[in-house]
Amino acid sequence: MGRFTVTHQINCDVETFWKVFFDKAFNERLYREALGFPSFQILEQREDEREVVRRVSGTPKVNLPGPVAKLLGPNFSYTEEGKLDRQKGVWAWTMKTSVMTDKLRQEGSLRLEATGSGVRRIADLLIEAKVFGLGGLMESSAEKQLREGWDQSAVFMNRYLEE
């Protein structure tokens, strides 16, 4: 099981961050243009004064080692379900993969810290692959892909906020 944290500076205040984070047009551009997802869709999004709940599906562009790519197959996708607790200021999510659902686990949380020039976006992630002989390779490959994706999303979000 792999746990890791990614941290990025985002050039806006907390309120603006969450507004953009849940904006449909922003997410379409982020996932399709910046991250290169062949498919991305917001399946459900609802909010009230206490929380925001969102469910999305996506087919990520993946660059995986041969054995992992073969195991996951060409049609790998996922569904992500998440909830923002407005009082705590924490977005927590879980992902369900289209294949090997009982053997692959990914979840995380996202929180913000105000800085003098914006916010520090802190994401704590967990990846687990219960696959004999390939679990470690799958976890390290997923971590590499996720780190790159979070880095790209920070660059994209800062550019988007400048527009």
Q: Counting Cβ atoms within 10 Å, is residue 108 exposed (0-12), middle (13-18) or buried (19+)?
A: buried
Q: What digits encode the pLDDT tens for the residues 12-67?
A: 999 999 999 999 999 999 999 999 999 999 999 999 999 999 999 999 988 888 88
* Cα dist from 60 to 18, 36, 38, 39, 146, whole Å: 23, 7, 7, 7, 11
Q: What percent of the chain has pLDDT over 90?
A: 87
Looking at the predicted structure, is the pLDDT value of residue 1 above 80?
A: no
Name the burial class of residue 30, with classes exposed (0-12), middle (13-18) and buried (19+) by CB atoms within 10 angstroms of its CB.
Answer: buried
**In this predicted model, what pLDDT tens digit does every residue of 62-114 receive, in sequence order?**
888 888 888 888 889 999 999 999 999 999 999 999 999 999 999 999 999 99
100: which DSSP letter? S
Q: What pairing do the DSSP bridges indicate for beta strands 39-47 and 2-10?
A: unpaired
Integer Cα distance of 77 and 90 in angstroms: 25
User: Among 101, 93, 103, 98, which Cα is nearest to 146's?
Assistant: 93
**pLDDT for res 30:** 98
Least confident residue range of 4-8, 13-17, 131-135: 131-135
**CB–CB of 11/158 below 8 Å?**
yes
Whole-number Å distance between alpha carbons of 107 and 60: 16
- The DSSP H or E segment spanning 22 is none
Percent of the chain with pLDDT over 70: 100
